[in-house]
Amino acid sequence: MGPNITELSVGQDIGSRTISVTRQDLVKYAGASGDFNPIHWNEAFATSVGLPGVIAHGMFTMGSAVQLVSDWAGDPAAVVDYQTRFSKPVPVADTTGTPDAGAQIEVSGTVGALDPEAGTARIDLTAIAGGVKVLMKAQAVVRLS
């Protein structure tokens, strides 16, 4: 059972996590999503179009970030709305021979608003990679008991 809306307050921290991303993760995501754009797996192509290198799929980043909320709520179906704007790409360094490479996305969440009548809480997410905010206005609405 997830959090009770009567026990929450605006500004309350719901937690944080670090998401490690490798190029292998991006290849797996490409297979699952059908998004085989070479900017997500081919270094030469990505740099040829002006990117710093291979970048994570925006939807991969978005989905990874909201996992914090669904885990906190205790039920993925409790998330009834989720929106964000992509502000910066997440470069994913080659991990060949370098176990600490890839990318780290730091995600944290706070209660941004409560609607006791509707039984919902808006959770505001912050997602940072390489010291840069990669999602803007990342907000999930969660139906709670």
- Residues 31-90 pLDDT 10s: 999 999 999 999 999 999 999 999 999 999 999 999 999 999 999 999 999 999 999 999
The amino acid sitting at 88 is: K
What percent of the chain clears pLDDT 90, i.e. is strictly above it? Answer: 92
What's the pLDDT at 101? 73
What domains can be seen in the chain, in order of their start residue?
Answer: 5-143 (3.10.129.10)
Higher pLDDT, 101 or 128: 128
Integer Cα distance of 67 and 76 in angstroms: 8
3-class SS at 89? coil
pLDDT score, position 3:
94
pLDDT at residue 97 is higher than 90: no
Give dist(CA 142, CA 52) in Å, integer: 35
pLDDT at 95: 77
Q: Token pair 């059972």 is at which residue?
A: 1
| Bridge partner residues of 141 (DSSP) | 81, 122
What sign for the dihedral angle of Cα 124, 127, 133, 138? negative
Rounded to two decimals, the pTM is: 0.92
